[in-house]
Amino acid sequence: MTQEIRLRPVARDDLQVLQAVTNNGPETASVHGWFGWTDPAGLVRRWEENGLLTPDFGHLVVAEGPEALGHVSWYRSGQGPLNHSWNIGAGLLPAARGRGVGTAAQRLLVHYLFAHTQVHRIDAHTDVTNTAEQRALEKAGFTREGTLRGAQFRNGGYHDMAVYSILRPEVTLG
């Protein structure tokens, strides 16, 4: 990495990067992040409605200097009637992969969510064959918990998912 990786809210000009990561086909999204074509105007509508930040989910841009490299996201995952956790994800442009950007972005997102919400647990799921993401999560401090068998439908079949988590006491804020 040549410059510091940071997270910031999504601006209108960033929407093309988010579209590229999620809606430009498997070559850009990666085989693990391609779920088929979606309404390209849907992302714009959601951004216009709430800036992609709500009490239940959010997206932030992963940036290096002024350049948007992709995004991180989270959504509320119920853990019973009294509490919830966050499930996180990341999507990077191909040029940003393989150089520590994902690890840095996920570490920043963990710090952000623990600093600004009361959750005790953050988890992430990734395809069991996505070794690059598994390494990134482990470098970001996550612990592998197990496998969700046949949990994700993608590209005509069901895929096993590796489950990772990190708990609030495992992270030093500040």
* Exposure string for 76-107, b = 16+ CB within 10 A, e = fewer: beeeeeeebbbbbbbbbbeebbeeebbbbbbb
Q: What pTM was estimated for this model as a whole?
A: 0.91
pLDDT at 1: 46
Residue 62 has φ and ψ, to the nearest 5°, of: -90, 120
Q: Give me the residue label for tokens 């929407």.
A: 15
pLDDT at 47: 96
Q: Which residues of the chain have pLDDT under 50?
A: 1
